[in-house]
A and B are shown apart, each in its own frame.
Chain A
Amino acid sequence: MGISSEELMRFNAGVRQRLEMRENIVAASPKIVAVGGGKGGVGKSTVSILLASWFARMGKQTVLMDADLGGANLHTLMGIRNPPRTLNDFITRRCDSLEEISLNTVMENLYLIAGASDVLSLANIHISQKAKLIQNLARLDADYVVLDLGAGTSYNVLDFFLIAEKKVVVITAQPTSIQNAYAFIRNTVYRRLNQLASQKSSLQAIIKMAMDTNNELKVRTVSELLQIIQELNGREAMAALQEEIRKIQPFIITNMTRTNRDRKAGGVIQTVADKYLMIHSMDLGGIVYDQKLYAMMTDMLPLTNLIQLSDAFASVYGMAMTLLRDK
């Protein structure tokens, strides 16, 4: 028995409605800002809080998520000693959505998703759980999600960094921090290239070879790697990879600056990343070293209590504005 025209119209209307709903959901997806940097102790969590606080102050619904899966303590900096719900509740399916584990904070428009540092399964999250988490981030009812990433360059950290529209790399004005941050950006680039080449084993072999800085072919830069890929796999393959690399445009923030020289540390990464990785980063400048901020951390007071008189908070204003304006 065939379908009547009335039923067909109803069916089509239903499909249209569902499609519209899906488009609305996609359109309403929050912008993700990931804050990483490779080295521990450079102030990624502090910078995450300061950025998220400014977004919230500017009227943006902002969720701050502790994505340091192995060593979560963002909640402590937010003045919450024992968060009632954490990311672990979502991973272990005690809660169905990230909304359920979002906690209110003292600041209007700002919500927190706390991590759980004492949960082994969370530190070693399975790939399917990671995929679920990433999918649910896009469904959060917010304007911005700020991800505070852990230290190091594990795949989990790099994957969260890569999904973000705005990628922020935090450094301090020390050579070790700059070196780690560069390594972090380099690993991000190669992780992305690896993801893109996952269907082509020959391409993967070349990328794997180039990842070794002492490779026998003396491929030292991404540009040299792309040249080889162009010769072996054609211009189209090379151009596609180049375009993906172009999209990784990290913003560099130098934390705890005390001198003019410190504020220029981001420029070093800019130069080296451009030369070796074809990465065009933007130096957002420095956040001044602020004794008040560190006193609050010692006293376990929420950093969101910072008033505009805080030098550190003030210096983040321009950065937050740039991130909001950047398309």
Chain B
Amino acid sequence: MDEALESQHCIGGITGGFLTIDSSEEFEALLKKSPDDCFLVKAFADFLAGRESFVQAAQHYRKASDLFARGGAVLQAVAAKVMEWHAAGPSRRECRDLYTAIREVRAETRLNDFFCRMAYTELLAVLANLEPLRLPPGFVIEDSGDVEGFLYFIVTGTVSEASAADEEGECRREFSANSSEMNYFGAVYPLDGQKPVPSVIETASSAELLRISRPQLVGLCEKYPKIEILLMRLARAHRLLMENKASYRERRSVRYQLQAQVDMKIFKNQSDKSQLILKGFIQDISLGGACVTLGEKYLTGSPAEIIGKSVKVLINVPKVKIGLNLFGTIAWCREILRGGKSIVIAGIQFRDMTHSDLTFLKKHCYAGEDAQDLISYLWESLPKS
């Protein structure tokens, strides 16, 4: 077998937990071949910590943390740093390195958001309170009826959750270190609540977790109000994810956050040539259709009256003389309250949108978050003639 491939197999085996190395020399030999393999460096640090070579273990945890952070694996970087502190005591300077590294991470997961948006002192305080856990498969972390007392982060492995109803053969929910969204659990927010755990949560494989208790979080939030905001956002994302999982329907096509002003010509019926002309604004679009927020000039009639009607949508595109014309049908239309005011939104199902149309829109439409940019974009999209 090719030597490099063999060493990769070894590393996979060690980090996967089904291959054990029991000498420093073997680890060092592998590390010579793959010095920047973050999982291998961490495995060696674990090995050294098991041998009570804490100073060396701390050095390797530090290196692993740095490698994980540079690779964008924020939670793993944090976990390695916590392990380093457990091996050799906290070091403020070293945390500053981690802080600087993870702030560079741009991956927009909620968990990254939680750690990467903390100020230095906040991150330091959170890290000092995180407790590492190594658990075997089948270990019950929380039993049904326990009080939700901890927030858990899954560093490696998988954790499964089964509610009483689920045990009768229904689906089980899984949290995993490999998931970008389902890699934490524990409904500790709001912090003043005392909610019972509704299900049994146990490890489905060997797992490494970090946890922090509710009282510790209360103390942190009192001292650092921003941590509470981050925690609240983390909890909300989790709640929404759980709700969405329940009623999840896969979309046929990807939606793009493209914003554009549109003019809609609604054809009343085939015999009647008269048209209703409305102006609106789309915020996202897919090959299948778009949701249009109608402007305030939509005044007459019930929204239901235009459902099912054919529509010609002109998407105004900046710096292009004629925008993109698409034909479709109004699939739904309803009034909603936004900011205490009633507005009308309509869902358009396109009949003839092609991939090249979408590419054209992606090239020319605005997809950012900044208000000032949106102003420039909208201004440019106003028809010049």
Contacts and interface: CB of A to CB of B under 8 A. Distances in A.
A272 B371 contact: yes
Interface stretch (B221-229, B327-335, B347-355): B221-229
A232 B379 contact: no
A35 to B, nearest CB: 21
A186 interface: yes
A70 to B, nearest CB: 26
A50 B211 CA distance: 66
A140 interface: no
A178 interface: yes
B360 to A, nearest CB: 22
A181 B385 CA distance: 24
B340 A228 contact: no
B113 A218 contact: yes
Given A232-B228, A278-B339, A178 B371 contact: no
Interface string A255-280: 00000110011011111101110111
A318 to B, nearest CB: 15
A272 B341 contact: no
A217 B226 contact: yes
Interface in B329-380: 338-341, 369-372, 374-376, 378-379
A280 B339 contact: yes
A175 B379 contact: yes
Contact of B374 (A205, A243, A272, A280): A272
Contact of A217 (B229, B236, B341, B383): B229
Interface string A216-256: 11101000000010011000000000110110000000000
A64 to B, nearest CB: 30
B117 A206 contact: no
A261 B383 contact: yes
A213 interface: yes
A55 interface: no
B158 interface: no
A242 B225 contact: no
A269 B281 CA distance: 13
B278 interface: no
B203 interface: no
B339 A242 contact: yes
A241 B340 CA distance: 12
Contacts of A260: 383, 385
B339 A182 contact: no
Contacts of A276: 371, 374
A136 interface: no
Contact of B339 (A209, A245, A267, A269): A245
The binding surface of chain A is classed by DSSP as helix
A182 B371 contact: yes
B187 to A, nearest CB: 14
B232 interface: yes
B138 to A, nearest CB: 36
Given A206-B229, A217-B230, A264-B382, A242 B375 contact: no
A231 B229 CA distance: 8
Nearest to B116: A216
Interface residues of B, number: 33
Nearest to B279: A267
Interface in A92-109: none
A87 B228 CA distance: 48
A23 to B, nearest CB: 29
Contacts of B374: 271-272, 275-276
A271 B261 contact: yes
B384 interface: yes
B231 to A, nearest CB: 10
Nearest to B108: A218
A240 to B, nearest CB: 12
A231 B341 contact: no
B236 A178 contact: no
B339 A228 contact: no
A280 B383 contact: no
A216 B113 CA distance: 9
Among B236, B296, B379, B384, the most chain A Cβ lie within 10 Å of the Cβ of B379
Contacts of A274: 338-339
Contacts of B385: 260-261
A254 to B, nearest CB: 12
B225 A268 contact: no
Interface in A268-303: 268-272, 274-276, 278-280, 282
Among A216, A220, A228, the most chain B Cβ lie within 10 Å of the Cβ of A216
Interface in A158-180: 175, 178-179
A228 B375 contact: no
Contacts of A305: none
Interface in A186-213: 186, 202, 205-206, 209, 213
A186 B371 contact: yes
A264 B369 CA distance: 23
Given A186-B371, A268-B382, A242 B340 contact: yes
Given A217-B226, A232-B229, A178 B339 contact: no
A202 B340 CA distance: 26
Given A242-B340, A246-B340, A261-B383, A268 B371 contact: no
A228 B229 contact: yes
Contact of B375 (A182, A205, A216, A279): A182
Nearest to B281: A271
B378 A272 contact: yes
21 contacts: A175-B375, A175-B376, A175-B379, A179-B376, A182-B375, A205-B225, A217-B117, A217-B233, A218-B113, A218-B117, A220-B371, A232-B229, A242-B340, A246-B341, A260-B383, A261-B382, A268-B379, A270-B296, A276-B371, A279-B339, A280-B339
Closest 6 CB pairs of A and B: A278-B339, A268-B378, A216-B117, A231-B232, A246-B340, A276-B371
Given A216-B119, A218-B117, A261-B382, 10 more contacts: A175-B375, A179-B375, A213-B371, A217-B117, A261-B385, A267-B261, A269-B375, A271-B281, A275-B374, A282-B296
